[in-house]
């Protein structure tokens, strides 16, 4: 490429000017935010401290960053836009083929890997906080993906069904002593029943209106859980929820406990590993069923509904039923996840089912790319796993001094990452669509053609 | 007036009001089995509104829309059906449907009326083949045991899906889209999208096909191919077609019967040749105000 082709020439003067303007703006913006600080002195008076070096550093970083962008990144981007689109290199195609088996192999082997690397003591933390936590959100993301990604119905109250599943398990297990394996499907059925119940009034709504009503529904469920103290014990939540057993063998230190029966030394790790494989199985079930459904008439009708509802109706599709099945299916998987959550925690309260939770699950779906299973899984790992890992930011203390509290910056970094990803990939990590049926050749459908649904 | 024994669709005193606007005013006409019936008229005449009433997207303010399957005897059931509260009567000899009583999806699913849209409505992010499979939703849904057999992987569903793909392939061949079966529908050129929309409507296996300006935006060659396709659908499948069309040459060439609307009112109804020479139609198309129609009539010597 000729460096002095008119479109590609780097305009140093303009770059400097832009950098100057940006630095000036940064100065104006950060002067009150960073330049001044109020502190209380020994006599408890409020005094103003100036932090010129820090302000200067921030402004310099912004200005130099802008300069680098103009001089290096922009020309590179322009040059890349001029090049003809190259087909994916062979190694990438190969990697794509091996990705799925490798990923499944990894998650199956994960507890063993953790045990081998982190040792018995720390393994519980890594399997539980990291593995199980991520898998719950992968499953919730996949469940919501049916409603939002496939059927194109924006649901902001998904956590309600998670709550229904959790409370169903907690209450029925405590009151009647039913086992986890009976209550798991029952929780799914109850949640999908509520899904249909929510579905009816919102069927005629679209877009923003649908989003608002589903949001309200999520709040209603939470507020009922808070206020129906007789049943749910309100804010205090439900404690002592029976834990799942290994097909009848409890995970405890008794003589008939898991460790004793299998001749092992008692350790909480066995339960954790069991829970890990349980949620892994549930998540894989969700994925399997969704993949299957996509290739069935009902799944195609969901996608058609997302693409064009009027056209669906003109083809004799009962869109009411189609939407209701999408709500019911999505809710069912949330119900499964909810009952697992209750069984894993042993304690639930309305605090676990706030709007923030719905928002997190929705972000996972949006970030992953609506409709894409792998995208959603990656997004869940990045978002949930990422926030968990950021708890371990202790090394930052070495840089910023021991008073620095890294966990406070968790959400900030997280927000930054999210904005960056959405700039880089506005339609999510994997935004292309895979056809559900092929006549001759499988062609991936570009994101620009796939609709996002209208509500 | 056509003999009652080959009438398939009867529109009687159809009126559609939007607030104060009367989009269709007391319209009556019939369409015969195996005919191409054209519905023409200037912009805003109410043609699409008539389609929306027939296909159940609008509930007419007044009037009756009846469709017959099978034996002509069915028309005798029309009065009892209208007086009773039912949507349809079904007997071994045939069936009769009151379309204005049915929601749009049942008009397609049970009365088997299919339609296309003036502004093409495909599923742009789905492949051409998928578009044609969505059109066979109800049959496949039944075969998949309302999803249950399908999820469990019963072979009966696999066979039904193969049959659906065969049907789709047959239609792809007829509209010359086989080579693009695995492309996204939104990637097709305009003319191909029009053809795909017709093929998709045909995959619902209709008895009456309603096409809203299928030739709009087509070049002359595509338009000629479309005419051939429509004639073939009429002659080979014996499917009745209701056609909205602006292009008079298309109308004259392929239609058996023409109904002309102007400001929601029927101003003419008859064979294409007679319509072409009808002064009221000429006046409507030239945009002459109503009161001058008499003058125009005088000019053309009527
Ligand atoms: N849903 C609606 N609400 C209000 N007015 C409507 C509605 N649908 C149609 N109309 C009005 O009814 C009249 C007839 O419209 P229609 O679309 O049926 O005309 P058309 O004959 O199909 O015209 P064109 O040739 O432009 O497609 C127009 O004045 C239109 O504005
Ligand atoms: Mg129209």
Mean pLDDT of A445-451: 79
> How confident is the model at residue B88, as a pLDDT?
85
Alpha-helix runs per DSSP H in A177-247: 180-202, 207-227, 229-232
What is the complex's ipTM, to 2 decimals? 0.89
Q: What is the pLDDT of residue A263?
A: 67
- Please, which residues 97-116 of chain B have a Cβ atom closer than 8 Å to chain A? 104-109, 114-115
Q: State whether A445 and B57 contact (CB < 8 Å).
A: no
- Indicate which ligand has the atom closest to the C-alpha of B39: 1
pLDDT above 70: residue A208? yes
Task: Give chain B positions within 8 Å (CB) of A433.
Answer: 125-126
Indicate the pLDDT class of residue B146, thresholds 50, 70 and 90.
low
Q: pLDDT tier at B1 (50, 70, 90 boundaries)? A: very low
CA of A393 to the centre of ligand 1 (A): 63
- Do B108 and A442 count as a contact with CB atoms less than 8 A apart? no
> What is the whole-number distance in angstroms between the Cα of residue B261 and the centre of ligand 1?
12
Which residue, by CA, sits nearest to atom 17 of ligand 1?
B48
Q: Does the pLDDT at position A2 exceed 60?
A: no
Question: Which pLDDT band, with edges at 50, 70 and 90, does A401 fall under?
Answer: low
State how far residue A303 is from chain B, nearest Cα, in angstroms: 8
Supply the mean pLDDT for chain A. 84
Gap from CA of B197 to ligand 1 centroid (Å)? 21
Please state the atom number of ligand 1 nearest to the C-alpha of residue B261: 21
A314 min Cα distance to partner chain B (Å)? 6
Weakest mean pLDDT among A174-178, A343-347, A407-411, B172-176: A407-411
A130/chain B closest Cα distance in angstroms = 32
**Cα separation of B210 and B214, whole Å?**
10
3-state SS, residue B242: strand
Question: What separation in Å is there between the alpha carbon of B119 and the centre of ligand 2?
Answer: 9
In angstroms, the Cα distances linking B124 to A287, A383, B183, B186 are: 25, 31, 10, 4
Determine the distance separating the centroid of ligand 2 and the alpha carbon of B145, expressed in angstroms. 39
Find chain A residues with C-beta within 8 A of B157's C-beta: 296
Cβ contact B147–A303 (<8 Å): no
CATH class, range A99-449: mainly alpha
Task: Give residue A311 CA to ligand 2 midpoint distance, Å.
Answer: 16
- What share of chain A in percent tops pLDDT 70? 90
A312 touches chain B (CB under 8 A): yes
> So what's the pLDDT on residue B119?
92
> What proportion of chain B, given as a percentage, has pLDDT over 70?
89
**In this structure, what token pair is assigned to residue A435?**
């056809």
Record: contact A435-B130, CB cut-off 8 A: yes
Pair B55, B210: CB distance under 8 Å: yes
Identify the closest residue of chain A to B166 by CA–CA distance: A439
Give yes or no for residue B41 CB within 6 A of ligand 1.
yes
Cβ–Cβ gap B134/A317 under 8 Å: yes
CA atoms within 13 A on the CB side of B198: 28
Residue with tokens 């086992």: A179
Give the model confidence (pLDDT) of A90-115 as tens digits. 676 677 778 888 888 888 888 888 88
Paired strand residues for B88: B97
Residues 52-91 of B with CB under 8 A from A: 55, 57
**Distance separating alpha carbons of residues A282 and A297, to the nearest angstrom:** 24
pLDDT at A87 over 70: no
What is d(CA A432, CA A443) in angstroms, rounded to the nearest whole number? 10
pLDDT at B152 over 80: no
Chain A 60-119, residues with CB within 8 Å of chain B CB atoms: none
- Cα(B41) to ligand 2 centroid in Å equals 10
- A89: confidence class by pLDDT, cuts 50, 70, 90: low
Residue B149 has pLDDT above 70, yes or no: no
- Tell whether ligand 1 has an atom less than 6 A from the beta carbon of residue B260: no
Write the CB contacts of B110 (distance below 8 Å, at least 6 apart in sequence). Answer: B88, B97, B102
Q: Whose CA is nearest to atom 24 of ligand 1?
A: B43
At residue A454, the pLDDT reads 59
Within 8 A of A446 by CB-CB distance, chain B residues are 184
Instruction: Looking at the CA of B52, name the nearest ligand.
Output: 1
Distance CA B77, CA B86 (A): 12
How many CB atoms within 10 Å of residue A125? 14
Antiparallel, parallel or unpaired: β B240-244 and B36-40: parallel
Considering only A20-24, A25-29, A75-79, B123-127, which range has the smallest mean pLDDT?
A75-79
Q: Among residues A161, A133, A135, A132, which one has the least CA distance to residue A146?
A: A161
pLDDT at B295: 60
pLDDT value, residue A4:
47
Q: Any idea where the domains of chain A sit in the sequence?
A: 6-82, 99-449
- Say yes or no to pLDDT of B300 above 90: no
Residues 6+ apart with CB under 8 A from B64: B10, B11, B12, B13, B14, B82, B98, B100
Candidate from B124, B150, B182 with C-beta closest to A440: B182
If we measure between CA atoms, which residue out of B185, B205, B250, B246 comes closest to residue B36?
A: B250
pLDDT tens, residue by residue, A279-327 = 999 999 999 999 989 988 999 999 999 999 999 999 999 998 999 999 9
With cut-offs at 50, 70 and 90, classify the pLDDT of residue B293: low
C-alpha span between A432 and A372 (Å, rounded): 8
Closest CB to B133 among A307, A312, A437: A437
Higher pLDDT, B131 or A434: B131
Give the least confident one: A137-151, B225-239, B283-297: B283-297
pLDDT digits (tens, 9 = 90+) for B30-74: 999 989 999 998 888 899 999 999 999 999 999 999 999 887 777
Per-residue confidence (pLDDT) for residue A109, from 0 to 100: 83
Taking the C-alpha atoms of residue B96 and residue B79, their distance in angstroms, rounded to an integer, is: 11
pLDDT for position A406: 66
Could you tell me if the CB of B44 is within 6 A of ligand 1? yes
A:B CB pairs within 8 Å: 140
Chain A partners of B200 at a C-beta cutoff of 8 Å? 315
CB of residue B49 inside a 6 A radius of ligand 1: yes
3-state SS of A368-410? HCCCCHHHHHHHHHHHHHHHHHHCCHHHHHHHHCCCCCHHHHH
- Which residue out of B104, B108, B113, B125 would a mutagenesis test of the A interface target, given it has the greatest number of A Cβ atoms within 10 Å? B125
Mean pLDDT value of segment A50-60:
87
B181 touches chain A (CB under 8 A): yes
Q: How far is CA A417 from CA A72, A360, A368, A420, A421, in A?
A: 22, 14, 13, 5, 6
The residue of chain B with its CA nearest to that of A306 is: B123
Per-residue pLDDT of B253-278, as tens digits, reads 899 999 999 988 998 898 888 888 88
Instruction: Identify the nearest ligand to the CA of B42 by its number.
Output: 1
Residue % of chain A over a pLDDT of 90: 29
Q: Which of A39-48, A77-86, A158-167, B148-157 has the highest mean pLDDT?
A: A158-167
Is residue B42 lining ligand 1, measured as CB closer than 6 Å?
A: no
DSSP string, B123-150: -TTSBHHHHHHHTTHHHHHHHTTTTHHH
Bridge-based pairing of strands B208-212 and B240-244 is parallel
- Residue B230 CB–ligand 1 contact under 6 Å: no
Asked if B122's CB is within 8 angstroms of A433's CB, the reply is no
């Amino acid at each position: 490429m000729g460096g002095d082709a008119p479109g590609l020439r780097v305009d140093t003067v303009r770059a400097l000017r832009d950098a100057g303007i940006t630095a000036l703006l940064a100065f104006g913006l950060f002067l009150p935010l960073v330049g001044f600080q109020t502190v209380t002195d020994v006599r408890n008076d409020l005094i103003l401290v100036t932090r010129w070096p820090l302000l200067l550093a921030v402004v310099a970083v912004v200005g130099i960053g802008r300069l680098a962008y103009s001089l290096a990144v922009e020309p590179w981007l322009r040059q890349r836009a001029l090049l003809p689109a190259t087909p994916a290199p062979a190694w990438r195609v190969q990697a794509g083929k091996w990705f799925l088996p490798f990923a499944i192999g990894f998650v199956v082997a994960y507890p063993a890997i953790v045990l081998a690397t982190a040792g018995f003591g720390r393994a519980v933390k890594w399997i539980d906080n990291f593995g199980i936590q991520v898998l719950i959100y992968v499953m919730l993301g996949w469940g919501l993906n049916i409603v939002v990604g496939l059927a194109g119905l924006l649901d902001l109250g998904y956590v309600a069904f998670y709550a229904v599943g959790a409370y169903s398990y907690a209450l029925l297990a405590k009151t009647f002593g039913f086992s986890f394996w009976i209550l798991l499907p029952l929780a799914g059925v109850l949640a999908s029943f509520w899904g249909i119940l929510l579905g009816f009034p919102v069927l005629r709504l679209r877009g923003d209106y649908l989003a608002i009503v589903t949001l309200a529904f999520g709040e209603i469920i939470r507020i009922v859980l808070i206020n129906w103290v007789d049943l749910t014990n309100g804010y205090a939540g439900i404690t002592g929820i029976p834990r799942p057993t290994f097909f009848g063998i409890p995970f405890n230190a008794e003589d008939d406990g898991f460790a004793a029966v299998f001749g092992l030394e008692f350790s909480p790790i066995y339960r954790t590993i069991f829970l890990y494989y349980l949620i892994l199985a549930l998540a894989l079930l969700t994925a399997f069923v969704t993949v299957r459904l996509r290739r069935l008439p009902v799944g195609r009708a969901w996608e058609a509904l997302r693409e064009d509802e009027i056209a669906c109706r003109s083809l004799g599709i009962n869109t009411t039923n189609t939407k209701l099945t999408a709500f019911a299916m999505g809710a069912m998987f949330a119900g499964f996840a909810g009952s697992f959550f209750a069984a894993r925690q042993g304690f639930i309260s309305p605090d676990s089912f706030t709007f923030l939770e719905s928002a997190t699950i929705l972000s996972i779906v949006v970030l992953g790319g609506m409709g894409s299973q792998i995208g959603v899984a990656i997004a869940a790992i990045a978002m949930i796993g990422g926030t968990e890992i950021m708890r371990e930011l202790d090394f930052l203390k070495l840089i910023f001094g021991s008073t620095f509290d890294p966990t406070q910056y968790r959400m900030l970094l997280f927000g930054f990452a999210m904005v960056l990803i959405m700039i880089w990939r506005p339609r999510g990590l994997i935004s292309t669509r895979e056809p559900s049926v092929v006549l001759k050749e499988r062609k991936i459908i570009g994101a620009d053609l796939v609709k996002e649904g209208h509500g | 007036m056509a003999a009652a024994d080959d009438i398939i669709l009867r529109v009687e005193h159809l009126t559609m009001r939007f607030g104060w606007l009367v989009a269709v005013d007391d319209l009556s006409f019939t369409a015969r089995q195996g005919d191409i019936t054209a519905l023409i008229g200037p912009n805003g005449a109410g043609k699409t509104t008539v389609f929306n009433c027939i296909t159940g997207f609008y509930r007419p303010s007044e009037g009756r829309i009846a469709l017959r399957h099978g034996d002509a005897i069915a028309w005798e059931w029309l009065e009892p059906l209208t007086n009773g509260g039912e949507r349809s009567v079904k007997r071994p000899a045939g069936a009769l449907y009151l379309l204005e009583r049915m929601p749009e999806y049942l008009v397609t699913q049970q009365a088997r009326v299919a339609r296309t849209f003036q502004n093409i409505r495909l599923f742009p992010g789905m492949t051409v083949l998928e578009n044609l499979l969505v059109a066979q939703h109800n049959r496949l849904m039944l075969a998949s045991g309302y999803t249950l057999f399908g999820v469990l992987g019963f072979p009966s569903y696999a066979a039904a899906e193969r049959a659906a793909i065969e049907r789709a392939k047959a239609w792809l061949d007829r509209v010359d889209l086989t080579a693009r079966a695995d492309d996204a529908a939104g990637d097709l050129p305009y003319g191909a999208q029009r053809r795909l929309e017709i093929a998709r409507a045909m995959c619902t296996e209709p008895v009456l096909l309603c096409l809203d300006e299928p030739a709009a935006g087509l070049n002359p060659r595509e338009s000629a191919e479309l005419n051939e396709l429509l004639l073939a659908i009429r002659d080979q499948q014996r499917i009745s077609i209701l056609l909205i069309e602006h292009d008079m040459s298309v109308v004259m060439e392929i239609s058996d019967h023409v109904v002309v609307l102007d400001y929601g009112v029927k101003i003419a109804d008859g064979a294409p040749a007679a319509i072409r020479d009808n002064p009221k139609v000429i006046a409507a198309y030239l945009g002459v105000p109503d009161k001058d129609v008499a003058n125009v009539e005088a000019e053309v010597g009527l």
